[in-house]
Amino acid sequence: MKNLILFFIMSIAFLLNACANDGDEPDLPSLKNPVATTPSDITDNSFTASWNFVSTAKSYRLDVSLQSDFTSFIEGYESLEVTALTAEVTDLTPATEYYFRVKAVRESAESDFSNVVMVTTTGTIIDTDVNLKDKAAGNFFVGAAVSTNRLTGGYNDLLTNEFNSITAESEMKMRTIFLGPGDYDWTRPDALVEYATDNNLNIHGHALVWHVEVPDWMTTFTGSNEEFEQIMEDYIKTVVTRYAGKITSWDVVNEAINDGGGVRNTIFLDKLGPDYIAKCFQWAREADPDVLLFYNDYNTPADLTKQNDVYALIDELQADNVPIDGLGLQMHISIDSPTRQQIQDDVDKALERNLIVHFSELDVRVNPDGREIVGTLTEERDFDQRLKYKEVVDLYNDIPDPFKYAITVWGIRDPDSWIINQYDRPDWPLLFDGSFNRKSAHTGFLEGLE
């Protein structure tokens, strides 16, 4: 009888228990709190957070904050659902303390938070008040492309505070200067030279020979090839002589190699013959024995056939003792391309040939092909652009001193950039916004000089 009563009580207890567990949740133990562990892969801008496995948890929720009491969160890292036991935390600032914590989750059940782990990103906090040219500290020039109608007000302030070199965006090209055989208009190039001299700025001359912006009278020239060659020799010698001692360097020939390789078919190739590039360098050298002479071209880091042909051209010039001092890599690039390694490989080839390297027309597009076009400079693209500027400047800064010359950015304010017309889409490729304020890209440039 005693056993029967015991059996009866146990059966009732079992039934009551079964009824109590009749909801959606199976009868699982409560979730233990995860233990956040030592972070790994810490870089200037990221780290990997990790924590221990919690039995029966389906996922984890990660918080990352600048404060140990989590009064605010890093964008994208408030209760971020993660199924793995690690998460990469990206887009962070160098040399900054971050805190993370995590909780375990199973359907509507949650654990309490784990312990809080502090992590400091690598790198150094840089003084963002410093100017570009001061930060470069005389190791190389920091230049900007300019035009005579952008030399006053905010342009003047930035040119004289941030930069120590200028390149004429257009006004030292043939179409501006060369009105006809023996007929020159010096108004605008002279104004730029005077401005640079008054403000103690270096001048890079751009460009003696380019197949674009050729004067109309030249493209319709009907005289003999000998006459054309004489006109070209006179032009190069007259321009280089006029500015000898004032202009430090010239792009003698710009963009003579096609995209995808091969010598570009231009009026100069047609009328002067296959050694026209050598002739142009020789004439420039005869006019000024001291000026630095550059060949300048674009997209060679990413277009390897073009790059090979550029170096084949340079090898030929050097084998024939043609006076070439340097190579201008234009660096009209984007946040996605080319990679650091591609740029480095290109630079290395120039250095193997003892050429001075000029990053001559730097701008970084944030709306490249293959990405969704954004109508405003989003925080993410702004950050990517800062990293790209940092990467490019850092790489340039590592070039041995005798082979450095300048990094020239192709304009000052975003809205003035040629990129916007060229690609017919919004973009913000430069270091300063429309109100002459520094962008994150400017910080990236400074970071590259660390």
Which of 159, 278, 181 shows the shortest CA–CA distance to 238?
Answer: 181
Q: Give the 3-state secondary structure of residue 38.
A: strand
Catalytic one among 162, 169, 171, 255? 255
Q: How far is the CB of 169 from ligand GLA (least distance, A)?
A: 6
Span 63-92, contacts to ligand GLA by CB under 6 A: none
Residue 361 catalytic? yes
Comparison of 141 and 410: residue with beta carbon closer to ligand GLA: 410
Provide the phi-psi class of 432: left if phi over 0, else alpha when psi is between -120 and 50, else beta: beta
Comparison of 87 and 252: residue with beta carbon closer to ligand GLA: 252
What is the DSSP code (8-state) at residue 65? Answer: E
Span 100-129, contacts to ligand GLA by CB under 6 A: none
Q: How far is the CB of 206 from ligand GLA (least distance, A)?
A: 6
Q: Does 294 bind ligand GLA (CB under 6 A)?
A: no
Q: How far is the CB of 313 from ligand GLA (least distance, A)?
A: 17
Comparison of 52 and 248: residue with beta carbon closer to ligand GLA: 248
Among 33, 330, 408, 440, binds ligand GLA (CB under 6 A): 330
Span 181-220, contacts to ligand GLA by CB under 6 A: 206
Catalytic one among 169, 361, 391, 447? 361
Residues 241, 233: contact at Cβ < 8 Å? no
Binding flags for ligand GLA, 222-251, as an x/- string (CB under 6 A): ------------------------------
What is the DSSP code (8-state) at residue 172? Answer: T
Binding flags for ligand GLA, 27-56, as an x/- string (CB under 6 A): ------------------------------
Q: How far is the CB of 310 from ligand GLA (least distance, A)?
A: 14
Residue 372 catalytic? no
Comparison of 210 and 243: residue with beta carbon closer to ligand GLA: 210
DSSP per-residue string spanning 86-103: EEEE-SPPTT-EEEEEEE
Q: What strand order describes the sheet that includes 47-51?
A: 36-40, 47-51, 86-89
Residues 185, 179: contact at Cβ < 8 Å? yes
Among 77, 298, 311, 396, binds ligand GLA (CB under 6 A): 298
Neighbours of 46 (CB within 10 A): 15
Q: How far is the CB of 326 from ligand GLA (least distance, A)?
A: 15
Comparison of 170 and 199: residue with beta carbon closer to ligand GLA: 170
Number of amino acids touching ligand GLA (CB under 6 A): 6
Which helix (H) or strand (E) element contains residue 109?
strand 109-110
178-180 and 202-205 as β-strands: parallel, antiparallel, unpaired? unpaired
Distance of CA 401 to the CA centre of its chain: 21
Comparison of 121 and 254: residue with beta carbon closer to ligand GLA: 254
Which helix (H) or strand (E) element contains residue 408?
strand 404-409
Instruction: Identify residue 328 by its one-letter amino acid code.
Output: G
Q: How far is the CB of 98 from ligand GLA (least distance, A)?
A: 41
State residue 327 phi and psi, 5-degree precision: -125, 130
Q: How far is the CB of 149 from ligand GLA (least distance, A)?
A: 16
Among 361, 384, 416, 427, binds ligand GLA (CB under 6 A): 361
Span 244-283, contacts to ligand GLA by CB under 6 A: 254
Q: Environment class of residue 319 by beta-carbon count within 10 Å: exposed (0-12), middle (13-18) or buried (19+)?
A: exposed
Q: How far is the CB of 443 from ligand GLA (least distance, A)?
A: 26
Span 408-427, contacts to ligand GLA by CB under 6 A: 418
Q: Environment class of residue 390 by beta-carbon count within 10 Å: exposed (0-12), middle (13-18) or buried (19+)?
A: buried
Residues 395, 341: contact at Cβ < 8 Å? no
- The total number of residues shown for the chain amounts to 450
Comparison of 208 and 287: residue with beta carbon closer to ligand GLA: 208
**What's the half-sphere exposure (Cβ side, CA atoms, 13 Å) at 276?**
27
Closest residue to ligand GLA in the complex (CB):
418
Segments of 201-355 assigned E as strands: 202-205, 209-210, 249-254, 292-297, 326-329, 332-334
Comparison of 411 and 448: residue with beta carbon closer to ligand GLA: 411
Comparison of 34 and 429: residue with beta carbon closer to ligand GLA: 429
Report, as residue numbers or ranges, the catalytic residues: 255, 361
Chain positions contacting ligand GLA, by CB under 6 A = 206, 254, 298, 330, 361, 418
